[in-house]
Chains A and B, each alone.
Chain A
């Protein structure tokens, strides 16, 4: 029987990207070959990943650029279709990613409304949580100013406060902690603990090994779309850092 503490179960997941290829040829050759259509090629990004995520767990995902970390997260939220395999979970994970809907010209308060609606709250739910979100982000004094006047740290706190306004059962964080200041990292740590103590799971993708050591219970090292190693943070991080670099690090 399956393990009852599993929150997300990834089985032999394969994800491919369709990439536009620009062949180096002129109009004449194009006509000659009768292929003026754009050409696409499937690039395998995740190639047969199997892993379980458990209650109360923070899993770190490390690997060189292009290892498939972000693609795996996107597939876990259902944003990218699988080519084969399966991903099942207790509920749909939330990826920290409201930043793209926020409007710099509008105030922090209006952005909380917009971001909350994008995340699936109703207007009334956002209004009800408004004060809580503002206080969590520590932006009480600046909340009615346009967001473009905020510092990078303030913006990071606002985004994070919106995205985790409802404590998700499964939280996916893709390089979102690196941007902020120390105040922001303290908030993030607090919220990650909230998720874990509510029997949830967190997946953290980052290139910052200090974050891995600070937050994670277990680490998965991805390389070229495959799992290269799984284990204790200290052990995997050491192995990763001392490995002959196959790619940019």
Chain B
């Protein structure tokens, strides 16, 4: 076995480096980038391990989102009628549910990303940002089949691809950036306040109704001022912009501005909060 040039320098005396100091933010980010494969491969392997014992196996990654959308369609499309103001309710619903659940899954997963990896944190020195990053990557990868399903469903309900479809990747990238910021924030908060994991599901249930996932906010809320207040909700912004792309639903400029601000501010805030106390994580 070789020693990778790390040891055998017999003649030269190498200076000792401080082992306890904290790297600069730039060095930190560079090291995190160098190790990025960790945050891609490990969650991919975890997804694989997840359904290994089931009969359907890896098919669950497709069946699960299909069931999710199916249940909502049954309840809100067939049994209770909330269609008013929407032409293509199935397409409308699918886009909303799928995108909402992406942010929800990422957040829940990331909130335990530090606390569930304490063993690793206590034994190996590496940029901790890789742990919430792994949560984001894993849940986003798991969401790809759902996205494909949503696009097929939108086509099947009679929509034709327009030039607006090309804007969708930008909306998804903005959502990814926002999700990443939230992941960093909740990963950090989850370490000092594990109670967060109990609170989050309820918070998301509330957000679900405030994000216009299953009904059209424009059709239910009459006042313009109140409609604008919805633009403060980042998930509403994402869903509304995506519906504009795929279904030609109307979008307010405030909503676009809201998304643009959230997808820049959230990662910045998340990183600062996470990085500031990183050395104390797990100690």
Is B220 positioned at the interface, with any CB of A under 8 Å from its CB? Answer: no
**In the complex, are the beta carbons of B283 and A77 less than 8 A apart?**
no
Is A213 positioned at the interface, with any CB of B under 8 Å from its CB? Answer: no
Whole-angstrom distance between the alpha carbons of A133 and B29 in the complex? 30
Is A119 positioned at the interface, with any CB of B under 8 Å from its CB? Answer: yes
Point out the residues of chain B lying under 8 angstroms from A97, CB to CB.
119-120, 122-124
Point out the residues of chain A lying under 8 angstroms from B122, CB to CB.
74, 79, 97, 100
**In the complex, are the beta carbons of B283 and A95 less than 8 A apart?**
no
Query: How far apart are B262's CB and chain A's nearest CB, in angstroms?
Result: 31
Q: What count of chain A residues pass the 8 Å CB interface test?
A: 54
Whole-angstrom distance between the alpha carbons of A209 and B35 in the complex? 38
Number of A-B contacts (CB under 8 A): 129
The answer to whether residues A118 and B7 also contact, given A80-B283, A87-B19, A105-B52 and a CB cut-off of 8 A, is no
Point out the residues of chain B lying under 8 angstroms from A168, CB to CB.
6
Point out the residue from B2, B9, B16, B124 that lies within 8 Å of A98, measured CB to CB.
B124
**In the complex, are the beta carbons of B49 and A95 less than 8 A apart?**
no
**In the complex, are the beta carbons of A18 and B19 less than 8 A apart?**
no
Residue in chain B with minimal CB distance to A117: B38
The answer to whether residues A89 and B19 also contact, given A122-B37, A198-B3 and a CB cut-off of 8 A, is yes
The answer to whether residues A166 and B4 also contact, given A101-B42, A114-B45 and a CB cut-off of 8 A, is yes
Point out the residues of chain A lying under 8 angstroms from B209, CB to CB.
none
Residue in chain A with minimal CB distance to B9: A199
Point out the residue from A2, A74, A169 that lies within 8 Å of B6, measured CB to CB.
A169
Whole-angstrom distance between the alpha carbons of A123 and B13 in the complex? 32
Query: How far apart are B173's CB and chain A's nearest CB, in angstroms?
Result: 24
Please report which residues of chain A, range 137-172, place their CB below 8 angstroms from some CB of chain B when the two chains form the complex. Answer: 166-169
Point out the residues of chain A lying under 8 angstroms from B49, CB to CB.
103, 105-106
Point out the residues of chain A lying under 8 angstroms from B280, CB to CB.
81
**In the complex, are the beta carbons of A117 and B48 less than 8 A apart?**
no
Point out the residues of chain A lying under 8 angstroms from B126, CB to CB.
118, 120
Whole-angstrom distance between the alpha carbons of A25 and B231 in the complex? 46
Is B17 positioned at the interface, with any CB of A under 8 Å from its CB? Answer: yes
Whole-angstrom distance between the alpha carbons of A196 and B117 in the complex? 32
Whole-angstrom distance between the alpha carbons of A55 and B37 in the complex? 33
Is B279 positioned at the interface, with any CB of A under 8 Å from its CB? Answer: yes
Query: How far apart are A210's CB and chain B's nearest CB, in angstroms?
Result: 25
**In the complex, are the beta carbons of B283 and A92 less than 8 A apart?**
no
The answer to whether residues A106 and B45 also contact, given A86-B18, A90-B16, A167-B2 and a CB cut-off of 8 A, is yes
The answer to whether residues A199 and B124 also contact, given A81-B283, A90-B17, A103-B46 and a CB cut-off of 8 A, is no
* 21 A-B residue pairings within 8 Å (CB atoms): A4-B13, A8-B19, A17-B283, A74-B122, A78-B19, A78-B20, A79-B121, A81-B279, A81-B283, A89-B17, A91-B6, A97-B124, A100-B118, A101-B119, A120-B35, A123-B37, A136-B1, A166-B6, A167-B7, A169-B6, A199-B9
Residues of chain A at the chain B interface (Cβ within 8 Å):
2, 4, 6, 8-9, 17-18, 74-82, 86-93, 95-101, 103, 105-106, 110, 113-114, 117-120, 122-123, 132, 136, 166-169, 194-195, 198-200
